[in-house]
Amino acid sequence: MTQPELFDVVELLVDLPEFNLRAGIQGAIVECYRNNNYEVEFSNSDGETLALCSLSTQQFVVVWSAKTKTWLSVPERVAAIVKNLDDNRQKEVLDFARFLHHK
C-alpha cells in the first residue's frame, strides 16, 4: 500500500454527508498528522474549496502520487482497499477475484 503523503490525490471510499461529499470524489492531502490522519481538501472545477476534512486512511485511497507524479494502477488501488478490510471480507474479495478469473 502506498503511504499517503503531502499533495497526493486521494479518492473517498465512504460518503461524508456532513460535508455533502460522496464516495468517489477526489481531493488532495494538504496536511499530514502524526496520528495517521490527513487533512484533505476537496474542491470544485473552479478551484473553490468544497470541504476540508480530517480523514483516516480507512476513508480514502491514494490514486495519484505527488512524489512520483504518477497515477496508481488499479491493482495498487484494489490492494490498498482490501488491506483495510477484515479477514472475512478479504476472503470474499479473493473468492470474487477467482470467480472473475475463471469466467
Q: Report the predicted TM-score, pTM, of the whole model to 2 decimal places.
A: 0.88
Mean pLDDT (the chain, rounded): 95
Q: What is the pLDDT of residue 35?
A: 87
Tell me whether residue 55 is in a domain: yes
On whether residue 44 sits in a domain, the answer given is yes
In tens, the pLDDT along 32-69 reads: 998 889 999 999 999 999 999 999 999 999 999 999 99
Whether 75 is covered by a domain: the verdict is yes
User: Does some domain include residue 86?
Assistant: yes
List the domain range (segments joined by +) for residue 95.
9-102
- Quick check: is 4 in a domain? no
Q: 72 lies in a domain?
A: yes
Is residue 52 within a helix (H) or strand (E), and if so which, with residue range? strand 49-56
Report the candidate in 76, 59, 53 with the shortest Cα–Cα distance to residue 11.
59
32 occurs within a structural domain: yes
Is 60 a member of any domain? yes
Number of structural domains the chain divides into: 1
- pLDDT tier at 1, thresholds 50, 70, 90: low
